[in-house]
Structure 1
Amino acid sequence: MFVRTTYATGDPAKLDEAVRKMTTEGTQALEREPGFRGAGLFVDREVGTLLTGTWWEDEEALRASAERMGELRTRMLSPFATTLTVDNWEAAVATRPESVGEGARFRMVRMRFDPSRADDLIDAFENGALPKLREMPGFQGGALLIDRAAGEGQVGAIYADRESFVASRGPVAVLRGQAASKTGATVRSVEEFEAVMVVSRPPS
């Protein structure tokens, strides 16, 4: 599968209205798109950041939806967003919950890696980090998204509640360091969000 992410920053006071539009008008529009396979919406209300990920069955569906989704994104986010970045990714490894409950949390790690070592990074996540994440209380799902040509990636993980999320910080930091050492990847940032919405659709 392939994923389009949108990262927006703006006035925290205007964030809730953007969330309302994304979870109503935005979700309805996505459900009509061929090849749509799910979405996530994550926010930091204090800072004023909003992150979305939309999942697509294949690269063709991702590209075919780009213009329509771009127009919709501008209409919904322009009152809030003062900066906006859109990226396309290959979903190299993914285990996703069908939905999340109130209080769920999301952690995103941005990284860079040698493009020639993309498969090493995939292996380190799929066979090293992910099995250990699955053993952690509250872990609900995670994914490794990569841009092979650019040597850039994101790891996202969802936890059921704040308690399990906070408890995971230390163990996950160890896993992150081990993976970086093993693959030569460089961690660029670690960000934490409230998980507002997650929807998952089965492949056709």
Structure 2
Amino acid sequence: MTMGAVMYSRETTTQGSYDPAALVEQINNTILPGISHRNGFRGINVSGDPSTGTAWILTNWDTVEDLVASRQDADQLRRQATQALGGTVLGVREWDLPVVHVSDRPPTPGLPINVNRHFYDPTQLHEVVSFFAWVAEPMYRSSPGYRSVRMLVDRTTGEVLVGSVWDDEASLEEGFSRLEPIRDRAVEKGMKFVERTRREVIFYLAQ
């Protein structure tokens, strides 16, 4: 992670028949051929919750201009993939991605993901991002079983998602407990903790 090297993400949330193998097939055969040639494309991450049949597809982009330019292709590919899978698109969102770090052991399918959802005063997000980058992220990196962490930010609403990938459930819970003092400090800075959810890695590609 390098401060200032902000990327951008488009998040598509789908629900329906939960079939990771079929979803990966659509990613390889439909989505990647349709977007990987676009300027600024930096990869795709897919996670899911088998208990609800929900999947989240994140495509990552170098600049906001790259993100905007890819919208039309993304809409068409979303319709094609959703029709083939028989699911429903619940929503599409675009996020700033100011902090992302992947260890020398990148995420692989089946690994657990912890997602924390917060809200802040939008006018204080610059300070919040800096705090996360220089205080929280190093603690993630040094935690046993850590694989990756990313911070998604909506600068209009103040919503923040922090997703982290771990070797197993034990290291995930240990990491969550280890970072409790950081969350306490974030509350002092105005964080409103909304929820904590679990997902699993379905697909991971960075470039």
Q: What TM-score bracket applies, with the shorter chain setting the length?
A: 0.7 to 0.9
Q: In structure 2, how many angstroms separate the alpha carbons of the residues matched to 1:125 and 1:25?
A: 35
TM-score of the aligned structures, taking structure 2 as reference length: 0.85
**Aligned residue in 2 for 1:42:** 47
Deviations 1:125-180 (A, max 9, x none): 1122111111111212212121212222211112233442243332244533432x
The number of residues matched between the two structures is 199
1:57-87 Cα offsets, whole Å, 9 max, x none, are: 1011100001111111122124443342111
Q: What are the equivalent positions in structure 2 for 1:73-84 lying under 5 Å apart?
A: 73-78=78-83, 79-84=85-90
Residue 103 of structure 1 aligns to a residue whose secondary structure is coil
CA separation in 2, counterparts of 1:176 and 1:74?
39
Partner of 2:206: 200
Q: Which residue of 2 aligns with 1:191?
A: 197
SS in 1 for 2:144: coil
Q: How far, CA to CA, are the matches of 1:56 and 1:28 in structure 2?
A: 16
1:55 to partner: Cα distance: 0.7
The alpha carbon displacement at 1:124 in A equals 2.2
Contact 2:103 / 2:146 at 8 angstroms: preserved in 1? no
TM-score by length of 1: 0.86
Does structure 1 residue 142 correspond to structure 2 residue 142?
no
Q: Deviation at 1:5? A: 1.0
* AA matched with 1:7: T
SS of alignment partner, residue 122 of structure 1: helix
1:24-68 CA distance string (max 9 Å, x none): 422232322221011100011222110111110101110000111
Q: 1:139 to 1:80 in 2, by over 3 A?
A: farther
Which sections of structure 1, spanning at least 5 residues, go unmatched? none
The CA deviation string for residues 73-103 of structure 1, in whole angstroms up to 9 with x for no partner, is 1221244433421111111212135842343
Q: Is the 8 A contact 2:108 2:204 kept in 1?
A: no
Which residue identity lines up with residue 197 of structure 1 in the other structure? F
Matched, 1:69 2:37: no
| Aligned partner letter, 1:66 | R
The aligned residue for residue 105 of structure 1 is 112
CA distance in 2, matches of 1:121, 1:160: 27
Q: Distance in 2 between matches of 1:29 and 1:176?
A: 40
Distance 1:85 1:174 in 2: 33
Match of 2:183 in 1: 176
Percent of residue pairs identical = 24
- Computed over aligned residues only, the root mean square deviation of the Cα atoms, in angstroms, reads 2.1
SS at match of 1:53: strand
Aligned pair in 2 of structure 1 residues 47, 172: CA closer, same or farther (>3 Å)? Answer: farther
Q: CA deviation at 1:193?
A: 0.9
Give the conservation status (yes or no) of the 8 Å contact 1:8–1:82. yes
Partner amino acid, structure 1, of 2:162: V
Tell me the distance in 2 between the aligned counterparts of 1:163 and 1:102: 17
Output the CA distance in 2 between the equivalents of 1:107 and 1:28. 30
